[in-house]
Amino acid sequence: MATDLKIGVVLEAFLNLSLEETLEFLSRNAPEVTHVEVGAGGYAPNSHCDVNNLLKNGEARKNWLNMLSRFNLKLDAFNAWGNPLHPDEEIAKKHDLALKNAIRLATELGANCVVAMSGCPAADDFGKTPHFGAGGWLPYLEGVHEKQWNERMIHYWSNIDSFVKEINPELLVCIELHPGTTVYNVETFEKFVQIGSSLSANLDPSHFFWMQMDGHAVTRRISNRIGHVHAKDTSFNKEKLGLNGILDHRWPKEPNEMPWNFSSPGVGHDLNWWTEFIRALKGSKAEVISIEHEDPFVPATKGVPETSKFLSQAIKLAKSARI
């Protein structure tokens, strides 16, 4: 599937524009882009998509899709990243509903992918804030991950898997392997997908870079459970990295002061890296690689068109290498 990848854009980079203005910009300035990924709640802004209205109103759904079609663009996925395991019950309920509504709306609009995150509960029954259970060599961190997994993760995501199969058996919930959530590397992801067959990965290599993981090796290892891909790079400030390492509590901060920043594909890793990344996706279910522009040094209006051309070249090189 990877050599036939289409190029999409996460619309969160264009929150200053209306949906129509964003689509017009993409059609004029990034003709390589054929799909869009749209925020649908949770922590994902949904100014380009009135989820409640679209769920209730068939005519509104038709008009919304017609607007995309008018600019020769298609819906790739809804993004409802959030924390449905949050110890604050109101936040957890809100994010759970956002995820379920994204699944419902994707089904109504003909998309088979919802991008999400696995969530992060408290460390114990009395905690009031999420607790990332990594670095368990300290006594107060020991066993946190296992407790979260056994008491919260399995139950919640088993129910989501059942919900998906009831609503749309073809749909994949593609969670991003992201530090700060319970699923952030291969070991945790391989446990996660054992919970249910509708659970898959949204692969964003930018997080692997700063965690010092091998993005190609990760991709090859889990390729059969990858359902969606984000295109985002990471670049490092050698001086700041040498002083403060990859962990930095100040995020977000002035980019020039940070040891690393997200960047446009090609800035941190060259065309050969991205071409090999696309090759490594062979055997995955991913149909779209979606540009998630978060480069603090480049505006989206410049970065997205440049990235779409860059990815188009990488896809062509990956395809030609297989002929």
Total number of domains in the chain: 1
Q: What is the pLDDT confidence band of residue 323, given thresholds at 50, 70 and 90?
A: very low
Q: Looking at 136-225, which runs of residues are DSSP E strands? A: 172-176, 199-203
Tell me the CATH number at 143.
3.20.20.150
Nearest to residue 268, comparing CAs of 318, 306, 233, 319? 233
Are 49 and 260 a contacting pair, CB within 8 Å? no
Strands 226-231 and 288-291, by their bridges, are parallel
Model's pTM, two decimal places?
Answer: 0.95
Percent of the chain's residues with pLDDT above 70: 98
Q: Is 282 exposed, middle or buried (0-12, 13-18, 19+ CB in 10 A)?
A: middle
Residue 69 amino acid letter: S
Kindly provide the b/e burial profile for residues 287-297, where b requires at least 16 CB atoms within 10 angstroms of the residue's own CB.
Answer: bbbbbbbbbee
- Summarize the confidence of residues 203-207 as an average pLDDT: 98
pLDDT at 74: 98
Contact residues for 227 (Cβ-Cβ < 8 A; gap 6+): 113, 172, 174, 200, 201, 202, 284, 285, 286
Q: Residue 285 belongs to what domain range?
A: 2-320
Q: What is the pLDDT confidence band of residue 4, given thresholds at 50, 70 and 90?
A: confident
Please identify which residue in the block is written with the tokens 């959530």: 181
Task: Write the pLDDT tens digit of every residue in 53-102.
Answer: 999 999 999 999 999 999 999 999 999 999 999 999 999 999 999 999 99
DSSP for 30-75 reads: -TTEEEEEEE-BTTB--TT--HHHHHH-HHHHHHHHHHHHHTT-EE
- Summarize the confidence of residues 155-162 as an average pLDDT: 98
Distance in angstroms (rounded) separating the CA atoms of residues 259 and 238: 7
CA atoms within 13 A on the CB side of 141: 8
Are 39 and 321 a contacting pair, CB within 8 Å? no
Strands 260-263 and 233-236, by their bridges, are antiparallel
- Candidate from 40-49, 250-259, 291-300 with smallest mean pLDDT: 250-259
